[in-house]
Amino acid sequence: MTYQVGRCHLRELLLKNDMTQVELAEKLNVMPQQIQHYIQDNRVMSLKVAKNISAILNCTMDDLYEWIEDGF
């Protein structure tokens, strides 16, 4: 069985943690536009970024995205 990356859940996770996109960007030392790209599903996070975001937001890396079964 394989999976495809679905919708990014970052917006909801930021709300749950009472954190803004700018605050997260500052913690990651990236531009706020990069966070916006993830939220708008224009870009998929690298493994390193996903690990750091999950540590900051106290969630698992799987929580960051919807995962869709391919059926293979």
pLDDT above 70 covers a percentage of the chain that reads: 99
The domain ranges of the chain are 3-69
50 touches 44 (CB < 8 A): no
pLDDT digit string, tens, across residues 40-70: 999 999 999 999 999 999 999 999 999 999 8
52 touches 26 (CB < 8 A): no
**What architecture is the 3-69 domain classified under in CATH?**
Orthogonal Bundle (1.10)
pTM of the full structure: 0.91
How far apart CA 22 and CA 62 sit, in angstroms, is: 22
Per-residue pLDDT, 71: 75
- Which letter does DSSP use for residue 32 in this model? H
How far apart CA 64 and CA 59 sit, in angstroms, is: 8
Q: Residue 11 pLDDT > 90, yes or no?
A: yes
Name the band, by pLDDT with cuts 50, 70 and 90, for residue 72.
low
